[in-house]
Structure 1
Amino acid sequence: MSSSDAVQEYIQDERDPSRSPNVPITGLMVQYYHVCKRELWFMANGIDIDRETTNIQRGTHVDETSYGDSRRSFMIGNRIQLDLLDSGDVMEVKVSSALEKPARMQLLFYLWYLREVYDIDKDGVLAYPTERKRESVTLDEMATTEIESTIRGILDVVSWDSPPQLEKKPYCGSCLYQDLCWM
């Protein structure tokens, strides 16, 4: 199957409730793909992190306490959760802009998913409340190409029998999977 066929098959699986996708892609998977493919592989293969750690709890707290008066959360199926602002824009809230591209790609995936699966066109807002920073995000042709490339990449990585090679990155020290990688 060609790589463009893999994206089209994914879209068809998502549109048809009687079909179930081979790999149910989430926004977090998109983020992990752009942070660390090894982290993505661990998560996709059921090796999950402790959700009670300080970093995770801090992110959850910022997400739950920011913009609460102007956004609502929606669950699509059992794995796509997104927030809509009163304006109708899709919002993604992050603690820090340190990993800005992965956060933007996660939001772009949500916009792409809404358009390709439900024929709903939305714009997005990427927000970093602790930095008092907001950015408008639009799904254009270049972003669509990048998201579809990301989907193909995710489908590839999660199909591997073992995790990708270990690669030292600047943020490895704060990664919750570091004990698996560096022991």
Structure 2
Amino acid sequence: MEQLKRTATGEPVDDPFRVTGVMMQYFHVCERELWFASRYLEIDRENTAVVRGTRVDETAYESERENLSLGMISLDLLQDGRVVEVKPSSTLEEPARMQLSYYLWYLAEIAGVERDGVLAHPTERKREPIELTTERREKVEDAIRGIYAVVTCEQPPPASEKPFCSSCAYHDFCWC
């Protein structure tokens, strides 16, 4: 945790440790996917889920969209003082909640800015408020430790079939 904070604030460290929002989401979806992404293995950009996500990312809230980058995080949108994370569907709700929770944690811990968030699914016309509660903060910190454990392993975690494997952009790395 401290190493991540030192890296984020620009302090010199021997081995910088970075966590992005996507890494937080992947950790909660599939640790093997996280490991591949941490090695910069390119995903299948023609994958239908990737194409759909890119389309929603490019068109939702188009007039308000700013894509604000702050250190290790990139926010989709600030709306009425709240951080808005835009997702194409609510299929993977908890991973999306954790990604947004990480952004809120990062803003609080690194930037010293307290914000609430909104998880938005524009294609479903759904919005869910997210607050950085004590429980959520602890989950984020546990996940950061878990992410560190995954990305520092020399081998990927074993493949484990999940209901969404067939739509994963890394499918061929596990099942072909």
Alignment TM-score, normalising by the size of structure 1: 0.89
Task: Give the alignment partner of residue 121 of structure 1, picking from 111, 114, 119.
Answer: 114
Q: Is the 8 A contact 2:7 2:17 kept in 1?
A: no
Structure 2 residue 26 is the aligned partner of structure 1 residue 8: no
Give the 5 Å matches for 1:9-158.
9-16=3-10, 18-19=12-13, 22-77=16-71, 79-158=72-151
CA distance in 1, matches of 2:104, 2:95: 14
CA distance in 1, matches of 2:155, 2:69: 31
Q: Deviations over 1:111-164 (max 9, x none)?
A: 000110010111100011111100000001000000000000000001111010
Q: Is the 8 A contact 1:71 1:86 kept in 2?
A: no
Percent sequence identity is: 48
Q: What secondary structure does 2:80 align onto?
A: coil
CA distance in 2, matches of 1:146, 1:93: 21
* Alignment root-mean-square deviation, CA: 1.6
CA distance in 1, matches of 2:32, 2:143: 15
Higher alpha-carbon deviation: 166-175 or 41-50: 41-50
Alignment TM-score, normalising by the size of structure 2: 0.93
Q: Is the 8 A contact 1:13 1:20 kept in 2?
A: no
Higher alpha-carbon deviation: 106-115 or 53-62: 53-62
Q: Is the 8 A contact 1:123 1:137 kept in 2?
A: yes
